Structure 1
């Protein structure tokens, strides 16, 4: 199992919309997340900085292939198209990078 942590900014004027979207996440998108070997997926919000932190556990054997499978899914692409306007990459994100992966420095099981 691989633990993944990522961070991105949330636009202040989109906080309520983002919360509403995720309170009613689309079943097809949730199913695709599971089909791509992701479990225990959680998104946290830190205000007033408006930072989103996501955590999930990857249980598959080929992370890149599962991520590509998810990215190719039309329903997931549609979901991202409504969520992405709420988000803003960190100033330190690389070209083309959206959610930025974080280093796993400590874990207590």
Structure 2
């Protein structure tokens, strides 16, 4: 099985209390089971989020079944995913160059060893 990597970035609100709460929601075992199920069901085999200051970087490893358009469509009709996303917007903010309502922005690979 071959995998493909997607990388994204998003900012948190620059507030240490909100950042701590966001990290607590994402600590091992704390993400809602419906959210991790929707991630895995979409063909995402590994997902990691890194944080520096209030800027986050997400790395996703996906299998050949992953389709980002289909994932977005499924998320839009999943009430639990929408509840989670609305909750996370309390902590997140758009990057300055994001389009209106755009949360996680794809990263451009500029170097590979």
Fold similarity call, TM over 0.5: yes
Partners of 1:38 and 1:57 within 8 A in 2? yes
Residue pairs, 1:14-53, within 5 angstroms:
14-23=18-27, 24-47=30-53, 50-53=54-57
- Higher share of residues assigned helix: 1
Shift of 1:105: 3.5
Residues 106 and 44 of structure 1, relative CA distance in 2, 3 Å threshold: same
Deviates more, 1:52-61 or 1:75-84: 52-61
Q: Secondary structure at the match of 1:12?
A: coil
| TM-score (structure 1 length as normaliser) | 0.86
Question: Given the alignment, which residue of 67, 90, 96 partners 2:101?
Answer: 96
Residue 7 of structure 1 is matched in structure 2 by: 9
Tell me, in whole angstroms, the C-alpha distance in 2 between the residues paired with 1:85 and 1:74.
17
Residues 1-25 of structure 1, C-alpha deviations (whole Å, 9 max, x = no match): 3311111111122101101111211
Flag as ranges the 4+ runs of structure 1 deviating above 4 A.
none
Q: Secondary structure at the match of 2:101?
A: coil
Tell me, in whole angstroms, the C-alpha distance in 2 between the residues paired with 1:22 and 1:82.
12
C-alpha RMSD of the superposition = 1.6
| TM-score (structure 2 length as normaliser) | 0.83
Structure 1: any 5+ residue segments left out of the alignment?
none
Shift of 1:61: 5.0
Count of paired positions = 106
